[in-house]
Structure 1
Amino acid sequence: MKRLLTLGILAQLALSTASFAQTKVVAHRGAWKHTGAPENSIAALKEAIKMGCEGSEFDVHMSADSVLFVNHDADIQGLPIERTSAKQLSAVKLSNGETLPTLEAYLKEGIKQKKTRLVLEIKPSAVSKERGIALTRKVVAMVNALKAAPKVDYISFDYDICKEITKIAPKATVQYLNGDKTPDELLADGIHGFDYHYSILKKNPSWIKEAKSKKLITNVWTVNDEKDMDWLISEGISLITTNEPELLIQKLRK
């Protein structure tokens, strides 16, 4: 009997450890905050890979002449990306001297390795819904042309963009960002999971277990506070997107 009880306790501990081990780290805009690399730069991607992050998140916009660039904001150094030519954008230098990366250059660097996933956020167009869909199709075409698809996960705040990806890239993994869809709604539309702000999940804590029970991906952004990290880990979240990947990696190794 004592041996059975001991085995039971060990099994419970193993399950507990496994639930914590499931949480993985996604570097938000790459690993930049403590490395000196600019956000969304190829240098920040390299740092995230070097750290062993599960994923490195980055954002994609389309220039006025339909070239794809990596940058978080809709403008860079006073230039609105959607209304600026690729020639002008290619002249922009980041703080480390790196040229504003094109999606092509970013993906080519990202697929040199095998351990870190490329979490590609397609930004909604400020010009029109149609342009956002055109951006989406161009992004997916480039990912496929570079044979990067096995390393890429897609995310977007625009639900129509998410649904478009599921149509044109049925094998791709897609997560929705905006936080206004339940796990059941995501499942019904063929979206593979959510990547919601942590405040959404604090208001709807049951969504984590509900989504996992339906085999949906559970991701959360942008979590930089240790207490929030601890809560999400205890709830069994699969992925945490953070500006503090070093801190989260250290926490998960304890």
Structure 2
Amino acid sequence: MINTIRIVYLVFAITLVFGCSKSENPDTTGEKIEETPDEQNILVVAHRGAWKEFNLPENSIASLNKAIEIGSNISECDIQLTKDLQVVIFHDEMVRGKYIKEQTYSELSQFSLSNGEKIPLLSTYLDIVIENKFKLWLDIKSLSELAGNNAWSIKAGEEAAKVIENKNAQQYVSFIVGRMEVLDKCIGFAKGNWECAYMNADFTSAQFVSKGYSWANFSFEKFYQNNTTNNSQLITDYTSKKIKVSVYTIDDNTVMDWFLDQNSIYAISTNLPFKLLSKF
């Protein structure tokens, strides 16, 4: 009986030792850890992917993959809608002198990015973020009248939501939107399954509360102009009302440092994500 007890104790001790060893030396080849490290309380958003520091085309598959590779928390991209209702990743309203809404995806595919890629589809982007358990912000572009105005932006948001649902990618996406009419429709398309941010920096915290909006994604200049003209209290004015605040697009070293000192900031979008990550 005593020998049996000793054997059981020995097995338990061995299990405990090996269990602790695994905890202290985690396997870094497994799934991507979604949590932000303890020392990093502000998320790093690669604006249009990690393109600038690595000489890649913005909004490309390569820039998205690079954003993931270097350890960004999130990648931002712009979405547009083609004539045949394909959701594509592209910033400008026009390609080869024609508005994107006037061209089918087959026609757009005759155009190549600087690295030889075709303009990516949202569905391709979603495949990548799902595989890597990565987060993607979709900028529903504010369009000029000739490019389709709010109606076409709303349609882009609607079609994007369909693609997201078909891919079961709800947990990996957020919408960021610049116009209220478009935002309100996009909130409906999201059905509460992903967050939607408002980008109108003229909207006060009280107006956010009145509308029920919970996330402000503003140009950094809303809070910071230079070392002597800045307003951290204005950030608190939003966050104290349970409104998340993220800022874009910060590439300057001094501005980065100032916002990193604002612990209530949710995320910083930058064209230089590798540089920003190096500060943590």
Give the conservation status (yes or no) of the 8 Å contact 2:154–2:186: no
Quote how far apart the aligned CAs of 1:120 are: 0.7
- Which residue matches 2:206? 184
Q: CA deviation at 1:201?
A: 1.7
Say which of 123, 127, 141 aligns to 1:108.
127
Match of 1:93, SS? coil
Correspondence 1:155 to 2:176: yes
State the match for 2:262 in structure 1.
235
Task: Say if 2:234 is the partner of 1:200.
Answer: no
1:117 is matched with which residue?
A: 135
Aligned length: 234
> Is residue 163–residue 189 contact of structure 1 (8 Å, CA) maintained in 2?
no
- Offset of residue 118 of structure 1: 0.3
> Measured at CA, do residues 47 and 155 of structure 1 come closer, stay the same or move farther in structure 2, by a change above 3 Å?
same
TM-score (norm: length of structure 2): 0.78
Deviates most, 79-88 or 22-31:
79-88
Q: 1:20 to 1:214 in 2, by over 3 A?
A: farther
Asked whether 1:251 is paired with 2:272, we answer: no
| Cα separation, 2, equivalents of 1:128 and 1:144 | 25
Q: What is the DSSP-based 3-state SS (H/G/I as helix, E as strand, rest coil) of the residue aligned with 1:27?
A: strand
Distance 1:19 1:197 in 2: 26
Deviation of residue 156 (structure 1)?
1.3
Matched residue, 1:7: none
Residue 129 of structure 1: CA displacement?
2.4
Question: Which is higher, the Rg of structure 1 or of structure 2?
Answer: 2
Runs of 4+ in 1 over 4 A off after TM superposition: none
Separation (CA, whole Å) in 2 of partners of 1:178 and 1:83: 28
| Matched position secondary structure for 2:196 | strand
SS state of the match for residue 84, structure 2?
A: coil
Identify the residue that residue 214 of structure 1 maps to in structure 2: 241
- The letter for the 1-side match of 2:248 is W
Alignment correspondent of 1:8 = none
Alignment root-mean-square deviation, CA: 1.9
The CA deviation at 1:130 is 2.2
Name the CA distance, whole Å, in 2 between partners of 1:204 and 1:184.
17
| 2:171–2:193 Cα contact (<8 Å) kept | no
Aligned residue for 2:136, secondary structure, equals strand
Q: 1:89 aligns with which of 108, 116, 124?
A: 108
Per-residue CA deviation, residues 89-136 of structure 1 (Å, 9 max, x unaligned), is: 12221111111101111211221111x310111112332322222221
Structure 2 letter corresponding to 1:136: G
Deviation at 1:19, TM superposition (A): 9.8
Residue 200 of structure 1 aligns with an amino acid whose one-letter code is: K
Question: Residues of 2 paired with 1:172 and 1:185: CA distance?
Answer: 21
Percent of residue pairs bearing the same amino acid type: 31
2 CA distance for matches of 1:152 and 1:184?
Answer: 27
Pairwise CA distance, 1:44: 0.3
Q: CA deviation at 1:139?
A: 1.0
- 1:145 equivalent to 2:166? Answer yes
How far is 1:137 from its partner? 1.1
